[in-house]
């Protein structure tokens, strides 16, 4: 009996231990490396109560690991957070750039906020609500649905206490909101974020390119269909699987075929590093795969905040990061810029991404435009025109800086030659550049081979082209890849 009691006691202790063990931090140890490729907007979270920035150092054991405290005087890596949403902006989640983990309301630990979640769940959901403004700008309050309380910088501890200014969901709904519950979102300095909806002064100045030498480049544009579209087999795919699909697509051309740049759409943030590694293995040379997220406007009741759309988790893998577009270029690249394009309210806030290759004096710009037409995001095609103009302004900036430009991606509109709905949207692009299917003849038809079902919605524009082809296979996508050999003036 005593042995039975001892066994039961041991089992009970084990159950208690398992029930209350703190979530481990090792599962996302590689995430910061995977996420360094992103041109997503990062923020500092500044407490009105302390006048300090919220910090989430990846230190501490158990329930003290990566707890959030409003104690930092400046924004460093552990004070940088990105905003994410999986429900079109109804809720947001904070991801720490210090350890790549999402901020959780730890209901097992007095509702403290800790950067310890490896994916988005109910613990990671927060509601961001505009609460006013002053001479220093807007401020917001954060509500934790899982705790049913507002987040506060808890100043009830002595200033010498390790829990001083810890963020905790502690203020009941309906209670008075004061400085403890108020926070500012301060943009963290990052030149790669670039312009937002036409604010082209933020695009910046790329480095001076070398004297032009190369006369042509090879380019590929491919929508990976990598998120959760069940109309293709790449949906919910892991990063390594997508990297294999990219190599398969290249291998269908030849064992040695390799573009100088690749535009990808409907990709996930954590695909970037795997694709980069696969390209380096294929070529024996260095690559950089840059990423730009697509956003949603956050429902704040005032103020203007965007959160990165999150890719759906992959079964057996987990979180795949934000959803957006990527651009693969040689590793010499250091200057790249995202551009959040003017998009319909309530819809995906689409993106463009440019990257400079100085040695060849080439600026590559990829984009994914809104869906258009009746029943889609941009019902009257007006935002398509604005998105086109914003990207063409980026190209003009690059040309002013003595770069030759190549532009491509999934533009979600059929070409002018078909006369279909929205057909005039791309006329200005055709006026200024040659599309892949035209080769070098400006008077040839503004049309081309289908790239997705019965539509041509994928494009490569440049000064001209000596070759243009659409891939035979889709390699798990619902799009064929478009390939060009593009002339450099």
What's the confidence (pLDDT) of residue 199? Answer: 64
Instruction: Identify the bridge partners of residue 362 per DSSP, sorted by sequence position.
Output: 357, 404
Looking at the domain covering 42-187, what would its CATH class be? mainly beta
**Sheet (strand 458-462) strand order:** 195-196, 336-340, 351-357, 362-368, 404-410, 458-462, 434-435
**pLDDT tens per residue, range 321-330:** 999 999 999 9
Question: For residue 281, what is the enclosing H or E element?
Answer: helix 271-283
pLDDT above 90: residue 396: yes
Distance in angstroms (rounded) separating the CA atoms of residues 200 and 204: 8
Higher pLDDT, 284 or 302: 284
Name the residue among 148, 212, 150, 185 with its Cα closest to residue 403. Answer: 212
Q: How confident is the model at residue 1 (pLDDT cuts 50, 70, 90)?
A: very low
Of 227, 83, 218, 216, nearest to 142 by C-alpha is 83
486 close to 467: Cβ distance less than 8 angstroms: no
Query: Strand ranges (DSSP E) for 64-126?
Result: 69-72, 81-85, 93-96, 102-106, 112-117
Q: Are 170 and 141 in contact (CB under 8 A)?
A: no
Q: Are strands 183-187 and 323-330 parallel, antiparallel or unpaired?
A: unpaired
CA distance 407 to 368: 11
Q: 């060849």: which residue's tokens? A: 360
**Domain range 195-487, CATH class:** alpha beta
Reported as a single tens digit per residue, the pLDDT across 343-392 is 999 999 999 999 999 999 999 999 999 999 999 999 999 999 999 999 99
Cα dist. 214→67, 167, 345, 363, 384 in Å? 52, 55, 42, 13, 33
pLDDT of residue 70: 99
How is the chain split among helix, strand and coil, in percent rounded to 5?
A: 20, 35, 45
The structural domains of the chain, with segments of one domain joined by +, span 42-187, 195-487
Q: Is the pLDDT of residue 25 over 70?
A: no
Indicate if the pLDDT at residue 26 is higher than 70.
no
**pLDDT, tens digit (0-9, with 9 covering 90-100), for 435-474:** 999 999 999 999 999 999 999 999 999 999 999 999 999 9
CA distance 484 to 465: 7
Identify the residue with better confidence: 431 or 38: 431
Q: Is the pLDDT of residue 22 over 80?
A: no
Distance (Å) of CA 12 to CA 20, 22, 45, 252: 12, 18, 42, 58
Task: Give the pLDDT band of residue 478 (cuts 50, 70, 90).
Answer: very high
Q: Check residue 16 and give its pLDDT.
A: 36
Under 8 Å between Cβ of 482 and 470: yes
Per-chain mean pLDDT for the chain: 92
CA 419 to chain CA centroid, nearest Å: 34
* pLDDT surpassing 70 at residue 52: yes
Radius of gyration of the chain (CA): 24
Strand, coil or helix: what is 229?
coil
pLDDT band, very low/low/confident/very high, at 157 (cuts 50, 70, 90): very high
41-55, 230-244, 254-268, 295-309, range with the lowest pLDDT: 295-309
CA distance linking residue 293 with residue 193, whole number of Å: 10
What average pLDDT does the segment 5-24 reach? 37
Question: Of 147, 187, 156, which Cα lies nearest the Cα of 53?
Answer: 187
φ/ψ of 381, rounded to 5, equals 70, 10
> What is the per-residue pLDDT across 185-216, written as a single tens digit (0 to 9) for each?
999 977 788 767 656 556 778 999 999 888 99
Burial of 74 (C-beta count, 10 Å sphere; 0-12/13-18/19+): exposed
pLDDT-derived band at 400 (thresholds 50, 70, 90) equals very high
pLDDT tens by residue, 212-248:
888 999 999 999 999 999 999 999 999 999 999 999 9
Chain centre to alpha carbon of residue 480: 23
Query: The tokens of 17 are what?
Result: 């231990």
Whole-number Å distance between alpha carbons of 104 and 119: 10
Mean pLDDT, range 157-178, rounded to an integer: 97
- With beta carbons less than 8 A apart as the criterion, state whether 238 and 227 touch: no
- For residue 6, what pLDDT is reported? 40
Pick the closest to residue 298 from 345, 339, 258 (CA basis).
345
Coil vs helix vs strand at 448? coil
Asked if the model's pLDDT at residue 421 lies above 90, the reply is yes
pTM for the model: 0.92
Closest CA relative to residue 328, chosen from 364, 380, 302, 283:
364
- Percent of the chain surpassing pLDDT 90: 87
296, containing H or E segment: strand 295-297
d(CA 249, CA 276): 15
């Amino acid at each position: 009996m005593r042995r039975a009691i001892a066994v039961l006691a041991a089992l009970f202790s084990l159950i208690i231990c398992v029930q209350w063990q703190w979530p481990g931090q090792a599962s996302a140890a590689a995430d910061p490396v995977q996420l360094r490729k992103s041109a997503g907007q990062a923020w500092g979270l500044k407490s009105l109560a302390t006048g300090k920035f919220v910090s989430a150092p990846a230190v501490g054991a158990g329930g003290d690991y990566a707890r959030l405290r409003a104690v930092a005087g400046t924004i460093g890596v552990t004070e940088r957070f990105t905003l994410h949403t999986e429900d079109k902006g109804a809720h947001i989640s904070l991801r720490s750039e210090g350890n790549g983990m999402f901020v959780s309301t730890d209901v097992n630990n007095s509702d403290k906020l800790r950067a310890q979640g490896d994916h988005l769940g109910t613990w990671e959901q927060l509601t961001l609500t505009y609460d006013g403004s002053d001479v220093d700008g807007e401020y917001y309050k954060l509500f934790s649905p899982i705790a049913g309380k507002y987040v506060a910088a808890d100043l009830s501890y002595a200033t010498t206490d390790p829990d001083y200014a810890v963020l905790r969901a502690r203020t009941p709904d309906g209670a008075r909101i004061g400085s403890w519950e108020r926070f500012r979102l301060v943009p963290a300095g990052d030149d790669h974020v670039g312009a937002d909806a036409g604010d082209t002064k933020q695009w910046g100045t790329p480095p001076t390119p070398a004297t032009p030498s190369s006369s042509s480049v090879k380019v590929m544009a491919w929508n990976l269909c990598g998120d959760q579209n069940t109309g293709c087999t790449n949906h919910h795919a892991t990063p390594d699987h997508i990297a294999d699909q990219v190599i398969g697509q290249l291998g269908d051309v030849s064992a040695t075929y390799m573009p100088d740049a690749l535009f990808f759409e409907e990709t996930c943030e954590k695909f970037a590093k795997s694709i980069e590694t696969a390209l380096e293995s294929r070529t024996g040379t260095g690559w950089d795969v840059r990423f730009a997220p697509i956003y949603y406007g956050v429902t704040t009741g005032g103020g203007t905040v965007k959160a990165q759309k999150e890719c759906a988790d992959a079964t057996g893998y987990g979180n795949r990061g934000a959803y957006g577009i990527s651009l693969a270029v040689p590793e010499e690249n250091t200057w790249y810029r995202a551009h959040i394009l003017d998009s319909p309210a309530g819809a995906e806030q689409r993106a463009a991404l440019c990257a400079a290759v100085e040695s060849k004096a080439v600026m590559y710009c990829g984009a994914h435009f809104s869906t258009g037409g009746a029943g889609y995001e941009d019902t009257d095609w007006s935002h398509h025109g604005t998105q086109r103009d914003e990207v063409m302004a980026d190209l003009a900036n690059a040309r002013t800086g003595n770069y030759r430009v190549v532009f491509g991606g999934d533009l979600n509109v059929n070409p002018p030659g078909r006369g279909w709905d929205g057909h005039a949207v791309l006329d200005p692009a055709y006026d200024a550049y040659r599309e892949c299917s035209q080769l070098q003849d400006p008077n040839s038809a503004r049309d081309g081979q289908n790239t997705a079902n019965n539509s041509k919605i994928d494009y490569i524009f440049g000064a001209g082209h000596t070759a243009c082809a659409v891939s035979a296979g889709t390699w798990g996508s619902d799009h064929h890849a478009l390939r060009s050999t593009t002339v450099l003036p």
